[in-house]
Amino acid sequence: MQCITVGLDERSYPIYIGRDLFAQLSRLLPQLPNQILIVTNQIVAPLYLEQVQQALGDGQLVTHIIGDGEGEKSLHNYQHIMDTLIAHSFNRDCAVIALGGGVVGDLAGFVAATYQRGVDFYQIPTTLLAQVDSSVGGKTAVNHPGGKNLIGAFYQPRAVIIDTDCLATLTDRDYACGLAEVIKYGIIHDAQFFEWLEAHSQDLIQREPQAVAYAVRRSCEIKAEIVAADEREQNQRALLNLGHTFGHAIEASHYDSWHHGEAVAAGTAIAAEFMRQQDELSDQDAERIRRLLQACNLPVVAPSMPLSQWQDYMQRDKKVKAGQLRLVLPTAIGAACLRTVTDWDRVASAISACNSACNEHD
């Protein structure tokens, strides 16, 4: 088992990464209180809930099971989970555990952040995306019809337990979504990791255990380092949003057909094309980004949408400042910047050129 610390002074917490960790939960989390709410969903519950319940022992263990999909990350479900906590007379010294992917984690985290002004929160992520990204760093949220994650809070978990064995039951599609966020870390922060991903993309696609373990560990190390340096996204944490301004617009307008990781992948390809067109990213690096995303079975072409629709969603991005759009853009493999962008023609040109460049290449 590996342990990475997210260093936030008295709110520092461990990320445990290993195999067969569900069985070791009570040893890893000795400080758990008597009242525990497990939030999970209808797919994960039949697979892992019993194992987790058994490992947690005899306290007052209540489970709240939500439906599947991004639509469940809603104020409606938030209210229902609050109803469950209140119906069972949970006190402020209770704990909320998220057992599931990013949807469960973001929703349960927002509940934990706000129930009685904040109760202990633990993340047990079961998708690759949640293991490498959403369970770490304390961004919690629900969606609003107007956009992704518009209602939420920064609220750190007390611990994150990553059991990589549970990735075995993930669909290929959802597994690939996690790789989009893994590739993001290479692009924004670590050229060597990007090279390693290029060399091991096939091992990763085949879920070769050592390759998966390394990708999860390195991703968590990078995220932990960035969050420790800038918890509230005042500067460098914004880089974790590479591809997301485009991605959120795609996702929020296509919840049923596009998953988060897919939207981020297409958004990352557009961001790279944007910089290539300004001569601020070499043709070669833009091509490497596109190729790696494709090698990991991720889309690099966005769905067709009128520019006005892109604008509506992108203007609601949380990085917008004084009404001006700010995008995270790659300047090289291993480096990115946050840039104010006022010229929508350039945005439109990157979206359409990215799509036609892809058609030319394939």
Ligand X SMILES: NC(=O)c1ccc[n+]([C@@H]2O[C@H](COP(=O)([O-])OP(=O)(O)OC[C@H]3O[C@@H](n4cnc5c(N)ncnc54)[C@H](O)[C@@H]3O)[C@@H](O)[C@H]2O)c1
Ligand Y SMILES: O=C(O)C(=O)C[C@@H](O)[C@H](O)[C@H](O)COP(=O)(O)O
Q: 193 vs 35, 37, 187, 209, 226, CA distance in Å? A: 41, 37, 9, 17, 16
CA angle 171, 134, 259 (to 5 degrees): 45
Residue 160 contacts residue 123 (beta carbons within 8 Å): yes
Residue 137 near ligand Y by CB under 6 A: yes
> Which residues sit opposite 325 in a β-bridge?
341
241 binds, among ligand Y, ligand X, none (CB under 5 to 8 A by kind): ligand Y
Catalytic residue among 241, 259, 318, 326: 241
Q: Binding marks (x or -) toward ligand X, 131..150, rule CB under 6 A?
A: --xx--x-x--------xx-
Residue 147 contacts residue 162 (beta carbons within 8 Å): no
Return the range that interacts with ligand Y (CB under 6 A); candidates 203-211, 234-242, 278-286, 299-307.
234-242
191 binds, among ligand X, ligand Y, none (CB under 5 to 8 A by kind): none
Return the range that interacts with ligand X (CB under 6 A); candidates 19-27, 67-75, 78-86, 277-285.
67-75
Place of tokens 């979206």: 351
Helices (H), 115-190: 128-129, 172-189
Residue numbers 99-138 binding ligand X by CB under 6 A: 100-104, 106, 126-127, 129-130, 133-134, 137
Residue numbers 237-266 binding ligand Y by CB under 6 A: 237, 240-241, 244
Query: How far apart (Å, rounded) are the C-alpha atoms in residues 267 and 22?
Result: 35
237 binds, among ligand Y, ligand X, none (CB under 5 to 8 A by kind): ligand Y
Beta-carbon contacts of residue 76 (< 8 Å; ≥ 6 apart): none
* Measured torsion, CA atoms of residues 303, 307, 313, 317, in degrees rounded to the nearest 10: 110
Residue 35 near ligand X by CB under 6 A: no
Write down the number of H helices and E strands in the chain.
14, 11
Bind-site residues for Zn(2+): 181, 244, 260
| C-beta neighbour count of 136 within 10 angstroms | 28
Residues that bind ligand Y (CB under 6 A): 133, 137, 139, 148-149, 181, 233, 237, 240-241, 244, 318
Residues that bind ligand X (CB under 6 A): 41, 43-44, 47, 68, 70, 73, 100-104, 106, 126-127, 129-130, 133-134, 137, 139, 148-149, 166, 169-170, 174, 177, 259-261
